[in-house]
Amino acid sequence: MSAEAHTPETHTPEAAVETRKFRLPDLGEGLTESEIVAWRVAVGDAVQLNQVIGEVETAKAVVELPSPYTGKVVALLAEPGEVVAVGAPIAEFEVAGAGPERTAAPRREPNLVGYGAMPEGTDRPARKARSWASVAGSKERAEPPADVRADVDRPRSTPPVRKLAKDLGVDLAVVHGTGPKGLVTRDDILGQVGTSAVPQIEAPQIEARAAGERETRTPIRGVRKQTAAAMVASAFTAPHASEFLTVDATATTELLSRLKESKAFAGVKLTPMTIVAKAMLIALRRSPSLNSHWDEAAQEIVQYHYVNLGFAAATPRGLVVPNVKDADALSLAELAEAVAELAGSAREGHIGPADLTGGTITITNIGVFGIDAGTPILNPGEAAILAMGQVRRLPWEHRGEIALRDVLTLSLSFDHRLVDGEQASRFLADVGAILTDPGVVMAMV
């Protein structure tokens, strides 16, 4: 054999091209599935890392999906409208891999923000189990502490689901998980609440008929499914009580007109609901029990020292309740701007999950639909919700005479475990007093 046969060629090896699957990530809410809303790329398109490639709808919001790779799209594995389980492959990419000299090296996936831990059985590395021996400083395997041992033995679930179970007083040990490999899901927890609180009544047998032109059937999923589950859990967990107050809000409507014309509120979308919301925030200082939470598992009442004010927003995908963080620290103009921004995002379907969690009290404006009063259902985990009806021009007693005045009805629902009737009445009366005469705020703050 000649010497030339043993002389290695000298050239730069080309990077190998690899096919990578992109699996539907856990988007940080512990959800087990999402619906593909739309793809923003097509097969054959070149994409960059973190380029938005599509949109998915969770049970809380529409979320944009960034690409985990720089490369080319070779397959889209789910169609718009299809509901996909977390961890299922939804797209494939061709990406430049390592050169031949590094093909034996372990493959590392990009750390996509919000990707979350993947279910077992995927091609991603599993999360390492915690070694209690290393924590204890011993080479032998140590027994975990008793409080942690209970955590290890409980059924598999995600942190948000465990929190929901804690809030609703559900023992995870008695819940049968229906998710992948026995994972306990949010629906499993809510179903347990419904099973324990509502007697099971056999439904009457109705002749099944195929859907035709006389009816429309819509799958229950996404925002509508989440809202329904939350309302059922709230209605059968917290003992609701309601109170109503009708007030002469003429002074408030006149104030609203003056503020809209002032330079300080130029460009600010100021509405009657913003004024009522501000009155709520002021009244809460004298009635803090309405801004609290019942922790069933810990047998504690959690008193919040901040207010994350939620407000009901109707969207094409259903009702959502975003909340303004630390609303009690905002000026009237800042509050109005925050509400307008969140409401706009909700209508467009691009509101983030963080804006839909962590609320402490809620306001809903049923007056925009021409309704005077109602009995709103509490947002799960909150102590109170205030509904404001329409402002109507009605005959009303004013300074000893009958005059046409702007009249408004307030409807307050509250958790009677947390709020006594006296506290609820004082809060409602304070809100009404502010709307009747905004000047009384000087005596409250």
Name 344's Cβ contacts closer than 8 Å, sequence gap at least 6.
none
Name 196's Cβ contacts closer than 8 Å, sequence gap at least 6.
none
Among residues 293, 350, 398, 416, the one annotated as catalytic is 416
Nearest to 332 by CA among 275, 397, 394: 275
Name 130's Cβ contacts closer than 8 Å, sequence gap at least 6.
none
Which residue in this structure is represented by tokens 């598999």?
156
Cβ proximity of 421 and 242 under 8 Å: no
Name 92's Cβ contacts closer than 8 Å, sequence gap at least 6.
19, 20, 21, 22, 73, 74, 75, 77
Q: How many helices (H) and strands (E) does the chain have?
A: 9, 19
Which residue in this structure is represented by tokens 């009605």?
394
Name 308's Cβ contacts closer than 8 Å, sequence gap at least 6.
323, 324, 325, 326, 327, 358, 359, 360, 361
Partnered with residue 62 across adjacent β-strands are: 57
Note if 6 is an active site residue. no
How, if at all, do strands 33-39 and 313-315 pair?
unpaired
Nearest to 52 by CA among 37, 43, 41: 41
The Cα–Cα gap between 379 and 151 comes to 28
Please give the radius of gyration of the chain, using alpha carbons only, rounded to the nearest integer: 28
Which residue in this structure is represented by tokens 């730069």?
12
- 151 by Cβ neighbours in 10 Å (0-12 / 13-18 / 19+) ranks as exposed
Edge-first strand listing for the sheet containing 17-23: 17-23, 89-96, 71-76, 46-47
CA 167: distance to chain centroid? 15
CA distances to 56, 133, 210, 225, 340 from 213, in Å: 30, 66, 10, 25, 39
Where in the sequence numbering do the catalytic residues fall? Answer: 416
